Amino acid sequence: MTTLVEMSVDDGVALIALNRPEVRNAISDALRAEFVAALERVASDEGVRAVVLTGNGKSFCAGGDISGMKERLKAPAGEVAFNGWRRQGQTHKSVALLHGLPKPVIAAVNGAAAGLGCDMALACDFIMAAENAQFAMSFVKRGLVSDGGGMYFLPRRVGLPRAKELIFTGRSVQANEALAIGLADRVAPVETLIADAKAWARELGRGSRTAIALSKAILDRTFETAEEQVFALGRQAQAVCYTTAEHQDSVNSFLQKTDR
């Protein structure tokens, strides 16, 4: 049986690869279930310091499986909405797990990231685009709205007016434009994309796991949180950091080197 989501760990970096290259890694219910399981594994694995998400083949992810959409529309009219609501719960669970991982996550976008695939890339902390990458909030072309967090994440990356333009038109954004407008953080050659993303992930995950996890949790809330609440969260996080072996070991190591 084919594994729809492949995962490997090398030097503290987990590589998660969507594995339906024959349909450009379109998201099916089965793939989503395996993706959730993979995210839960890396979240609990203390040996994983950072994560790289990519797609096998020539695309990152083409979005939702159109053939699956057609099948869903065959349900009795009175069941379509409830079935959709229930499935959306699974979509949101996977995106929430991806966005909420307590370690740095890089989307290594090889080729097309369209619709839900673009939403998934946006849910990551950083986006590294291959030179041939293309991004498209293509939901409008199927008479749909972004359902994987894109309407939350995209304005935070590119600003509200540009996010509206990209969502209303569904147009494709090439790698260089993505970099220029902040949709992508770095561009890499196709041949070295994964190696470059892994190297960046190792750099991002090198620090204190506790400090990174707590910082990420607070930073992801800063646009919705008042200043005094951010300060309060910071105080609580710092109190936790004071108790960690990572902090104590680093202080002792620094002082020992200073004494020499």
Domains, the chain, ordered by start: 5-204 (3.90.226.10), 209-259 (1.10.12)
* Contact status, residue 97 vs residue 39, Cβ threshold 8 Å: yes
Phi (first) and psi of residue 31, to 5 degrees = -65, -40
Q: In this structure, what token pair is assigned to residue 80?
A: 């379509």
* Contact status, residue 56 vs residue 45, Cβ threshold 8 Å: no
Find, among 167, 190, 186, the residue nearest to 176 by Cα.
186
State residue 88's pLDDT score.
Answer: 79
Give residue-wise pLDDT tens across range 225-245.
999 999 999 999 999 999 999
State residue 66's pLDDT score.
Answer: 60
Per-residue pLDDT band for 64 (boundaries 50, 70, 90) equals: confident
Find, among 55, 45, 27, the residue nearest to 197 by Cα.
55
| Rounded Cα gap, residues 260 and 255, in angstroms | 9
State residue 154's pLDDT score.
Answer: 98
| Rounded Cα gap, residues 64 and 69, in angstroms | 8
Find, among 68, 120, 115, the residue nearest to 96 by Cα.
120
Asked whether the predicted pLDDT for residue 57 surpasses 50, the reply is: yes
Please give the torsion angle defined by the CA atoms of residues 157, 33, 205 and 241, in that order, rounded to the nearest 10 degrees: 90
Q: What is the mean pLDDT of residues 50-77?
A: 80
| Rounded Cα gap, residues 54 and 194, in angstroms | 8
Give residue-wise pLDDT tens across range 110-158.
999 999 999 999 999 999 999 999 999 999 998 999 999 999 999 999 9
Give me the residues paired with residue 107 across strands: 53, 127
Catalytic annotation present for 147:
yes
* Contact status, residue 193 vs residue 108, Cβ threshold 8 Å: yes
> pTM of this prediction?
0.91
- DSSP for residue 36: H
State residue 79's pLDDT score.
Answer: 66
Catalytic annotation present for 119:
no
Phi (first) and psi of residue 210, to 5 degrees = -65, -50
Query: Which listed residue (92, 119, 185, 247) is catalytic?
Result: 92
Query: Which listed residue (147, 185, 247, 259) is catalytic?
Result: 147
Give residue-wise pLDDT tens across range 168-224.
999 999 999 999 999 999 999 999 999 999 999 999 999 999 999 999 999 999 999
What is the average pLDDT score of the chain? 92
Q: How many CA atoms lie within 13 A of 132 on its CB side?
A: 10
* Contact status, residue 96 vs residue 147, Cβ threshold 8 Å: no
Give residue-wise pLDDT tens across range 65-94.
765 555 565 567 676 666 766 777 888 999
Q: How many CA atoms lie within 13 A of 191 on its CB side?
A: 0
